């Protein structure tokens, strides 16, 4: 297969991986959870095990549980237990991976103050989804994403989701329009 060899780290849904596959590239996802999509290859395990497998591009979605400012009221306990420092160390390892092109995605978080500011902040409504959800991108050797379909009807639906066992999964899933823009613009 022609094209790039792409790793989508910390992705269980397959949304981003599958967008790159549809664009003609070899893409594999990696997560501690099994993939929800049967389309492409998925390594269920620690991404650190496969970072040095000759990837051309990595899109990483590290868990935001201990990083996002939406949970700032819990930061003191997270710092005391060491989980926040572990989460930041994981982010730094991803950013330092031996891969030429890297995009790291996370909501507004302490990555900005503890590691570095994001290169870009995007919104789903810039890519065809009528929702607000500020998403930061830290980019290495990649251009900023250009909006593809600016829409009206901007609501904070993700923020207002009712409690449920799968709420965290639903909130973390990448919007299809953003995944498609990544596949079209970063190859």
**Domain 5-185: which CATH number of 3.30.870.10, 3.40.640.10, 3.40.50.150, 1.10.1740.10:** 3.40.50.150
What pLDDT shows up at residue 82? 80
- The per-residue pLDDT for range 25-75, each reduced to its tens digit, is 999 999 999 999 988 999 999 999 999 999 999 999 998 776 776 666 666
Q: Name the pTM for this structure.
A: 0.89
Mean pLDDT of the chain: 88
What pLDDT shows up at residue 154? 74
With a cut of 60, say whether residue 167 has pLDDT above it. no
Q: How far apart are CA 106 and CA 129, in angstroms?
A: 18
Domain ranges of the chain: 5-185
What pLDDT shows up at residue 67? 78
How confident is the model over 86-91, as a mean pLDDT?
Answer: 93
Q: How far apart are CA 139 and CA 159, in angstroms?
A: 25
Q: How far apart are CA 22 and CA 27, in angstroms?
A: 10
**Listed residue (185, 166, 172, 186) closest to 15, CA to CA:** 172
Q: How far apart are CA 124 and CA 107, in angstroms?
A: 12
How confident is the model over 99-126, as a mean pLDDT?
Answer: 94
What pLDDT shows up at residue 187? 86
């Amino acid at each position: 297969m022609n094209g790039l060899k792409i790793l989508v780290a910390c992705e269980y849904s397959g949304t981003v991986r599958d967008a790159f596959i549809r664009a003609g590239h070899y893409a594999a996802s990696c997560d501690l959870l099994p993939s929800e999509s049967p389309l492409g290859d998925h390594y269920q395990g620690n991404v650190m095990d496969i970072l040095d497998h000759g990837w051309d591009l990595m899109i990483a979605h590290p868990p935001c549980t201990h990083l996002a400012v939406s949970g700032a009221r819990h930061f003191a306990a997270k710092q005391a237990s060491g989980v926040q420092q572990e989460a930041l160390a994981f982010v730094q390892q991803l950013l330092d991976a031996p891969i030429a092109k890297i995009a790291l995605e996370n909501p507004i978080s302490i990555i900005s103050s503890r590691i570095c500011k994001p290169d870009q902040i995007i919104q789903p409504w810039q890519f065809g989804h009528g929702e607000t959800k500020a998403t930061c991108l830290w980019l290495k050797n990649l251009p900023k994403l250009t909006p593809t379909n600016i829409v009206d009807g901007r609501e904070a639906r993700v923020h207002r989701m009712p409690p449920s066992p799968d709420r965290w999964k639903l909130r973390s899933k990448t919007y299809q329009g953003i995944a498609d823009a990544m596949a079209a613009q970063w190859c």
